[in-house]
Amino acid sequence: MPTLFKTVILASITMGQNPLTLSRFVTEKQAASQGVTGEFAGLLAQIGLVGKLIAQDLRRAGLSGILGTTGEINVQGEAVKKLDEIANETFVKLFHHSGLVCALVSEEMEKPVLLPENWPQAKYMLLFDPLDGSSNTDCNMPLGAIFSVVKSERKDRMPTEDELARKGTEQVAAGYLLYGSSTMLVYTVGQGVHGFTLDPGTGEYLLSHEQIRIPARGKVYGVNEGNYHKWTPGTKKYVDDLKTQDKSSGRPYSVRYSGCLVADVHRILLGGGIYLYPGELDKPEGKLRLLYEANPLAMVVEQAGGGASTGTMRILDVEAKQLHQRVPLIIGSADDVRDAEDFIQSRRM
Ligand code: AFP
């Protein structure tokens, strides 16, 4: 029997015999960590459910008349897609009545949703981008959702709006949903990164990528190179360097850029390389949002052994001042991120 065929059969038998579901995996991991309650398992299960519902909408979007824009402009100044709104409502509705969180912050909402009725039992607060890469909705390309979980330490009162903007190092969990050729949920609680693939047959998320480790260096870079003329000299030099031919250091790198941050970072998490949405001359703060894009992905990538930087400092150390704050993001393999920082800070020319 050909080896590939044998491997496929073996893989399906192994999965079939002992598929590790998301809930069992999280519960077992929790049992091993002291002082952790079942609340977090519930929260992750709820994110999984949100992912199933949104994935279902995305699969039927072209048939259900939910492509295109709503005519509204969101807090970021961007045209709201119908699916942005649907994904946001799905997150808010499912978490509102779950009793699992006391506050919600979304890319699609200017103000947070505070849920005093869930406090003090619910100590977690969820910050999320409900549909990342939404320009991909109308052309059947990958999409994602990103989430960050922080905890309210106050026992005397509900957290206020200002207390939702936290430094990345204060996240207790983070992760993303990826809607690609399959639906995946990837998360970390600060003890490594694990990936689950939604099995369409059973409707369960099954462990498919345990303890993901990102290679120290990759061969791929992802950046919107149409913005080249807007970049600082250091960023230009770094990207020029990636394209220079030099067999000994594996250059030139290949470009892979989908317009969906989650998909691009997921590729890099598994295979190595670097994603950049840098600061620009006229917009030094860049495009991406700190609290529900950069911070959670930085936590995931660092937990897998990679790096995440603004170009001048670690993302997770950036002081959070506003809910919708933007930040430059350079994320991926540790050595690649270090090289980018060297060019941006003019340590290399
Ligand atoms: P949305 O989350 O608003 O859909 O934006 C997508 C995104 O934040 C990120 O997923 C992409 O990597 C990036 O923007 C694409 O931006 P450009 O179109 O400027 O390259």
pLDDT above 90 (res 75): no
Atom of ligand 1 nearest to the CA of 262: 10
How much distance in Å is there from the Cα of 128 to the middle of ligand 1?
Answer: 15
Residue 17 phi/psi, 5° resolution?
-75, -40
Atom of ligand 1 nearest to the CA of 226: 20
How much distance in Å is there from the Cα of 2 to the middle of ligand 1?
Answer: 43
Q: Could you please report the per-residue DSSP string of 167-201?
A: -GGG-SEEEEEEESSSEEEEEESSS-EEEEEEETT
- Give the model confidence (pLDDT) of 192-204 as tens digits: 999 999 999 999 9
How much distance in Å is there from the Cα of 258 to the middle of ligand 1?
Answer: 9
Average pLDDT, rounded, for the chain: 92
Round to whole Å and give the CA distance between 253 and 339: 13
pLDDT above 70 (res 36): no
- Residues contacting residue 166 through CB under 8 Å, at least 6 positions apart: 150, 291, 320
Round to whole Å and give the CA distance between 128 and 255: 27
Q: What is the pTM of this model?
A: 0.93
Ligand 1, pocket residues at CB < 6 Å: 78, 129, 132-135, 224, 259-261, 287-288
Q: Packing angle between helix 82-96 and helix 39-64, nearest 10 degrees?
A: 150
What's residue 6's pLDDT?
Answer: 45
Round to whole Å and give the CA distance between 212 and 192: 7
How much distance in Å is there from the Cα of 318 to the middle of ligand 1?
Answer: 21
pLDDT above 90 (res 153): no
What's residue 35's pLDDT?
Answer: 53
pLDDT above 60 (res 10): no
Round to whole Å and give the CA distance between 112 and 128: 11
What's residue 73's pLDDT?
Answer: 87
Atom of ligand 1 nearest to the CA of 144: 10
